[in-house]
Structure 1
Amino acid sequence: GVYLSMVLRPGLSAADTALVTPAAAVATARAISRAAGVEVGVKWVNDLYYAGKKLCGILAEAPLGADGRPEFVVIGIGVNVLDASFPPELSGVATSLEAAGAGEADRAALAAAVIAEMLALCGGLGERTFLAEYRARSCVLDRPVTLVRGEERREAYAVGIDDDARLLVRMPDGSCEAIGAGEISLRGDFA
């Protein structure tokens, strides 16, 4: 696989720091397309999927300074490259570039492409121009989802992604919410 961490100093407000993860998803999706010829979808907020299985995970952490602004952001990206045998509990949910038909993708070229794409997006994060591509690559919009936060699970329907990269969901009672953090899983039919 390709596993890398980048330390970024994008000069964002604490609120806009939430844009780093979706920007990294777009940058990594572009890099995978360019370096391996594989088109992937984004599962809000931080995973890349191919054919219904997870191909890449992305995590970001940002310690806040005394002024409440992030001093820096560490973004970690892991892409499954070779079709190594996944443990039984992951074989039905994880995939690799090799399984996606990319053969033995050049890992150095992929890492370089991820870095180049991320640096290209960093300067304009506050402008949010990458969000159109993020929405277009989404594999959760217009689908029923389960919202997961700790032990709590709630059923919803994903209807959009707002300009702060929050997932917009419609609840079974018809109300709408903007979800800024947490995990989702795709589920069957929405009632």
Structure 2
Amino acid sequence: MNCLSLSEKLHCPVTFFDEVPSTNDYLKETARTDTKECMLAIADRQTRGKGRLGKTFYSPAGAGIYMSYLFYPELEAKDGYLLTVSAAVAVVKALKTLYGVSAAIKWVNDIYVEGKKLCGILSESAVTDTGRLAYAVVGIGINIQKTAYPPEIRDIAVSLEEILGKSEIDRESLIAEIWRNFSFLLNTCSSQQIVKLYRESSFLIGKTVSVFHNNTPFDAVVTDIDDAAQLIVSDANGSVHALSSGEISIKIK
């Protein structure tokens, strides 16, 4: 990984680790030093890669891109959903631009291709006393090479090399394209425009799903994603629910 070249392309420092517990955790600790400097951290392997709702993200050596971006957005805490939404759209656009791959978003933070998971996103932040984001860390993990996936993800995971039918993916170009897209979306587009792009890339609308909330599952049909990126579902009784991402997990029926 040519960190200097990548740093010049993205106009921020880039740090590469052969191994780190978690790129997200590393940058959250960095943010607490109050340097207020944006930074991209990339690892060849994570020993404690993080997923949403306390799950782990499988991050073996050489098999993926595991990266996190620390920055200081001018966002109120209530608009924090734009972090994951923008990152998801950025990945979808990068895959289309670089490889012609049509990827889709599984609400709220997974990128799928041909029915299998290629990428996961985890956004974390701190909030000031005035209700604004003190900093944000957006983590993205992408499967690049096929590997011996753990049993729990073996049937749903896919790598970019499998999708493209080739090896030797230019990781630097993919990383740069994703973060350029991300920066453009957050700095140039309105929240409504970003969510519109997110909604257009979702494959859940119209699908029947199982919703898990407080260990109580119920089946529902996804009808929309609203302007706050909440998933709108209708249950068997016809009741409509607006789901935020906090403690909700979704399984496709």
| Fold conserved between structures, TM > 0.5 | yes
**Unmatched segments (≥5 aa) in structure 2:** 1-63
Deviation at 1:101, TM superposition (A): 1.8
- Kept in 2, the 8 Å contact 1:23–1:125? The answer is no
Q: Aligned residue for 1:148?
A: 212
Q: Aligned residue for 2:135?
A: 72
Query: Is 1:185 matched up with 2:248?
Result: no
- Kept in 2, the 8 Å contact 1:2–1:80? The answer is yes
Deviation at 1:96, TM superposition (A): 0.8
Q: Aligned residue for 1:29?
A: 92
Aligned pairs for 1:9-48 (under 5 A) are 9-48=72-111
Deviation at 1:100, TM superposition (A): 1.0
SS in structure 1 opposite 2:184?
Answer: helix
Query: Is 1:161 matched up with 2:240?
Result: no
The one-letter amino acid paired with 1:17 is G
TM-score normalised by length of structure 2:
0.70
Aligned equivalents of 1:102 and 1:118: distance in 2?
27
Aligned pairs for 1:94-173 (under 5 A) are 94-101=157-164, 103-104=166-167, 105-124=169-188, 126-173=190-237
- Kept in 1, the 8 Å contact 2:84–2:138? The answer is yes
Aligned equivalents of 1:154 and 1:7: distance in 2?
36
Deviation at 1:125, TM superposition (A): 5.5
Which structure is higher in RCO with an 8 Å CA cutoff and minimum separation 6?
Answer: 1
TM-score normalised by length of structure 1:
0.92
Aligned equivalents of 1:36 and 1:81: distance in 2?
13
Aligned equivalents of 2:109 and 2:83: distance in 1?
10
SS in structure 1 opposite 2:183?
Answer: helix
- Kept in 2, the 8 Å contact 1:12–1:126? The answer is no
SS in structure 2 opposite 1:88?
Answer: coil
Please give the per-residue CA displacement for 1:75-121, whole angstroms capped at 9, x wherever unaligned. Answer: 00001111223223322111111111252221111111111111111
Which structure is larger by alpha-carbon Rg, 1 or 2? 2
Report the RMSD for the aligned CA atoms in angstroms.
1.4
Aligned equivalents of 2:152 and 2:77: distance in 1?
37
In the alignment of these two chains, the number of paired residues is 187
The one-letter amino acid paired with 1:89 is E
Please give the per-residue CA displacement for 1:116-166, whole angstroms capped at 9, x wherever unaligned. Answer: 111111114643212222111111110001112342212111000000000
Query: Is 1:174 matched up with 2:238?
Result: yes
Please give the per-residue CA displacement for 1:20-76, whole angstroms capped at 9, x wherever unaligned. Answer: 111110001111222333211000010000111111000101111111211111100
**Unmatched segments (≥5 aa) in structure 1:** none
Deviation at 1:176, TM superposition (A): 0.6
Higher mean alpha-carbon deviation, 55-64 vs 116-125, is at: 116-125
SS in structure 1 opposite 2:193?
Answer: coil
The one-letter amino acid paired with 1:147 is V
The one-letter amino acid paired with 2:111 is L
- Kept in 1, the 8 Å contact 2:82–2:191? The answer is no
Q: Aligned residue for 1:84?
A: 147
SS in structure 1 opposite 2:123?
Answer: strand
SS in structure 2 opposite 1:62?
Answer: strand
Query: Quick one: percent identity of the two aligned structures?
Result: 35
